[in-house]
Amino acid sequence: GLATSAAQAQGNYPQRPITMIVPFAAGGPTDVIARIVGDNMSRTLGQQIVVENVAGAGGTTGITRGAQAQPDGYTIMMGHMGTHGAAPALYPNLKYDPSKDFAPIGLAAGTPILIVAKKDFPAKDLKGFVEYVQKNGDKVNMAHAGVGSVSHSTGIFFTSVIKAKPTMVAYRGTGPALNDLMGNTVDFMTDQIVNVAPQVQGGNIKAFAIATATRSPALPDVPTTKEAGLDGYEVSAWNAVFAPKGTPPEIVAKLNEALVKALSDENTKKRLLDLGGVIPSTAEQTPASLQKLVESEVARWTPVLKAAGATAE
Ligand code: MLT
């Protein structure tokens, strides 16, 4: 009967390529993590994982599409601290609820935030940078990946901590924002380490601080915000795999197994670690742990963003 053939279809999953929606431009942090992790997962699953970049509205366009896709395991998505943590506070009409409309698969990587600026920025350290941004107001441009994205919410948080009001410049992802930072046409951003590490290492942009309690092994010369004299700005992001709500538990389990396997693969780990990504602990790799993280992140970001007076455009 029907039930039997549905169960068989799940047992044979996957039988065709899987689409992974990346809700930002190609080449940026979410895209990079999706491709690194997806590469290994597709080998385990025996089917290709095809990344589809659906950028717009700080990642909420792509995640809305993913939430509304058939829950059959053939459309999954890479969400993050922005799409599943900050966005609800900024979009009163958001078409998905991060904690209700998904079948969480698992955390893919932690991504510490760096304060980075164009190479020619007239400051030599974080203190000088903060003073300059405070003094020059809207003459300074802050790049971000759209309202509700990681760079936007961590940037709003940063400017509220230092009490500055730079001009905000929106991009379809921090991949393209980084290009303009390297081209010296935008001044600074707060971005995930996996995007900026190679350009910091290459000396193409300046990194004033990393907003974590300890330095990153990928960028050992970059001081923490605290070391650099800024209190009250510690923030880290994360990227995680989600399926639409209603995805059968057997399929969720298969996808989670493939993700867990990817995160224990030496080559996959090295690719993430070289970019400064943080590999989640085994306990953090479960769907239940991701569900809890989403709920706690929405609770954490809502008051921060409301207090900073941030609203959607
Ligand atoms: C991206 O992939 O462009 C991002 O994760 C951007 C962001 O949220 O800041």
How many angstroms is it from 89 CA to the middle of ligand 1? Answer: 17
- In the predicted model, is pLDDT for residue 255 greater than 80? yes
- Is residue 150 within 6 Å of ligand 1 at its C-beta? yes
Q: Which amino acid is at 16?
A: R
Task: For a ligand 1 pocket test, name from 53, 80, 113 the mutation site with the most ligand atoms within 8 angstroms of its C-beta.
Answer: 80
Calculate mean pLDDT across residues 108-120.
98
Q: What is the pLDDT of residue 307?
A: 87
Q: What angle do CA 129, 132, 136 make, to 5 degrees?
A: 145
75 vs 52: CA distance, rounded Å: 10
- In the predicted model, is pLDDT for residue 313 greater than 50? no
The per-residue pLDDT for range 293-304, each reduced to its tens digit, is: 999 999 999 999
How many angstroms is it from 263 CA to the middle of ligand 1? Answer: 21
The per-residue pLDDT for range 223-253, each reduced to its tens digit, is: 999 999 999 999 999 999 999 999 999 999 9
Q: Hey, is 34 helix, strand or coil? A: helix
Task: For a ligand 1 pocket test, name from 77, 192, 193 the mutation site with the most ligand atoms within 8 angstroms of its C-beta.
Answer: 192
Q: Is the dihedral of CA 151, 154, 274, 280 positive or negative?
A: negative
- Is residue 145 within 6 Å of ligand 1 at its C-beta? yes
The per-residue pLDDT for range 9-64, each reduced to its tens digit, is: 667 999 999 999 999 999 999 999 999 999 999 999 999 999 999 999 999 999 99
Contacts 24+ apart (CB under 8 A), 175-181: 175/24, 175/25, 175/26, 175/27, 175/28, 175/29, 175/31, 176/25, 176/27, 176/28, 177/143, 177/144, 177/145, 177/151, 178/28, 178/205, 180/143, 181/116, 181/117, 181/118, 181/143, 181/205
CA distances from 110 to 169, 192, 193, 238 (A): 25, 9, 9, 4
Q: What is the mean pLDDT of the chain?
A: 96
Minimum mean pLDDT among 189-193, 203-207, 256-260, 309-313: which range? 309-313
Residues in the chain: 313
- In the predicted model, is pLDDT for residue 198 greater than 70? yes
The per-residue pLDDT for range 135-150, each reduced to its tens digit, is: 999 999 999 999 999 9
CA distances from 65 to 19, 62, 187, 289 (A): 12, 5, 32, 24
- Is residue 28 within 6 Å of ligand 1 at its C-beta? yes
**Helix (H) and strand (E) counts in the chain:** 11, 9
- Is residue 79 within 6 Å of ligand 1 at its C-beta? no
How many angstroms is it from 28 CA to the middle of ligand 1? Answer: 6
Q: What angle do CA 191, 204, 221 make, to 5 degrees?
A: 70
- In the predicted model, is pLDDT for residue 175 greater than 60? yes
- Is residue 174 within 6 Å of ligand 1 at its C-beta? yes
- In the predicted model, is pLDDT for residue 133 greater than 50? yes
Q: For the chain, first and last CA: distance in Å?
A: 51
ipTM entry: 0.99
Instruction: Retrieve residue 219's tokens.
Output: 């960028």
How many angstroms is it from 34 CA to the middle of ligand 1? Answer: 12
Q: Is the dihedral of CA 196, 200, 204, 205 positive or negative?
A: positive
pTM, whole model, 2 decimals? 0.96
> From the CB of residue 139, how many other CB atoms can be counted at a distance below 10 Å?
11
Q: Hey, is 84 helix, strand or coil? A: helix
- Is residue 173 within 6 Å of ligand 1 at its C-beta? yes
- Is residue 239 within 6 Å of ligand 1 at its C-beta? no
- Is residue 24 within 6 Å of ligand 1 at its C-beta? yes
Q: Whose alpha carbon is nearest atom 2 of ligand 1?
A: 30
